[in-house]
Amino acid sequence: MNTTTLTLGRRRSLVQRSPADWAFALLVLIGGGYAFSRYGASMDVYEKGILGFAMPALVALGWFWRPLRLLSVLVGAFSLLAINLYLRKLDGFGADLAAADQVFFLKYMLSSQSAILWMSLLVFMSMGAYWVGFFARGESSTAEVLGSKLAWGAVFMALVGTMVRWFESHQIAPDIGHIPVSNLYEVFVLFTWLTSLIYLYYEERFKTRALGAYVMLVVAGAVGFLLWYTLDRGAHEIQPLVPALQSWWMKIHVPANFVGYGTFALSAMVALAYLLKTASQRALLIGLVGVPVGLVAFILAVRFGAQLPAETLAGLDGWARKMGAVAIFLGICVALRKPLSARLPALPLLDDLMYKAIALGFAFFTIATILGAFWAAEAWGGYWSWDPKETWALIVWLNYAAWLHMRLMKGLRGAMSAWWALLGLLVTTFAFLGVNMFLSGLHSYGTL
């Protein structure tokens, strides 16, 4: 009887789906079928499996969170529009990529680089609007609503840029095309839209926009790095994959990893808000300002006390400036803590959001680590080699595993959990960027 009741419950949940639900599902299936018919010959069995799994997953996500439906439809429509604009001009192999500078809509909006630049602008505008709204009166100001809409716009442009860049890579040569998650430029775009989208979900779920000002800070920081990296290295140019990256594992390992990175960054900004609301002035000065100042002192000690190549010295100077800027920013936050914490949500909500973000990120980071081990076995012949990147990934995993254990088993709450979550961002950032800069190993293809 119980089994019958449960089964009927499931059937009723499907029957009760609205026409809009089924229309979205049909659109996804049509889009997937089109992709199979158009590009199936270029896919191996693993890629077909990924696409086959992605369709029901997208339908389920669209049913679970309705705003994803419109986002998915618009991204698909504008990506196809960009592809058709490219296909109007064909060269010997495929689309003429010079059209990106000749066709109006490609040049100013829909080529991958144009879309990603729009993403960058919208992120900065969203952050500004959220901060204007943060200091406005009322629970949900017009500026905060605008900030939320601009964040949605940034996600939209980032996804369009990603899809179009994927298409562009396949037009260069048959063996160059790849999913755009293979270098720092591409994964920072991935980090930007994933972190923004996860925040927008929690914004709707917890019915507050007050944290947008904090979360968009770390997203804007990532975009700032992306723009610097583009200008300094010309990173937007599409490059062939190195042999180690020519694997279908990359298509699932990297996105899963960045769900973790994005949620860990989100939890750290929530932790910062929590601490500004609760911690003492002395604790904030020591913890928020003292740590980056100490890092600057350590970097300068290494800089002037060791015989290092000129390139490494220049990199250390750059990191010292960045940490100095972080110390100044956090010092301003401490000085302005009262207005910065006046409109924050209640402490239980902040604590719950911090926990949910870390739990989600830990689950995906665990999956990514397991997938990475399988990829390593395929590429290098062993599941684990204690490469610096692998070692620091394990440190990140152990850090958040310990955080979750202490919360679930020991009831960790309050300022201690917030300090720990904020420190976790430092550990995660070093695992993501610091290892690439200061250490070498099997992952040296990702060096700065």
> Mean pLDDT of successive 10-residue segments in the chain (448 residues)?
40 72 92 85 79 90 92 94 82 68 87 94 96 76 91 97 90 80 90 96 91 94 89 79 79 91 95 92 89 86 75 73 87 89 90 95 95 84 82 94 94 91 91 73 55
The whole-model pTM stands at: 0.89
- State residue 177's pLDDT score: 79
The residue assigned the tokens 């990702």 is 446
What pLDDT sits at residue 94? 63
Q: Are 279 and 432 in contact (CB under 8 A)?
A: no
pLDDT value, residue 195: 96
Query: Given this model, what pLDDT does residue 447 score?
Result: 53
Which residue shows structure tokens 């964040």? 151
The answer for residues whose C-beta is within 8 angstroms of residue 444's C-beta and 6 or more apart is none
Q: Given this model, what pLDDT does residue 119 score?
A: 97
DSSP labels, 323-383: HHHHHHHHHHHHHTHHHHHTTPPPHHHHHHHHHHHHHHHHHHHHHHHHHHHHHHHHHHS-S
pLDDT value at residue 5: 40
Question: Residue 27's pLDDT is what?
Answer: 92
Looking at residue 89, the DSSP 8-state letter turns out to be S
Please compute, for residue 219, the number of CA atoms within 13 A of its CA located in the half-sphere on the CB side: 39
State phi, psi for 360 to the nearest 5 degrees. Answer: -65, -45
CA dihedral sign of residues 75, 153, 203, 123: positive
Instruction: Specify the pLDDT at position 4.
Output: 41
If you compute the radius of gyration of the chain from its CA atoms, what whole number of angstroms results? Answer: 23
Amino acid at 343: R
d(CA 139, CA 209): 9
pLDDT of residue 118: 96
Taking residue 186's Cβ as centre, other Cβ atoms within 10 Å add up to 25
What is the distance between the alpha carbons of residues 343 and 354, in angstroms, rounded to a whole number? 18
In angstroms, rounded to a whole number, what is the distance separating the alpha carbons of residues 161 and 416? 40
pLDDT confidence of residue 388? 83
Distances (CA, A) of 393 to 272, 347, 426: 23, 30, 13
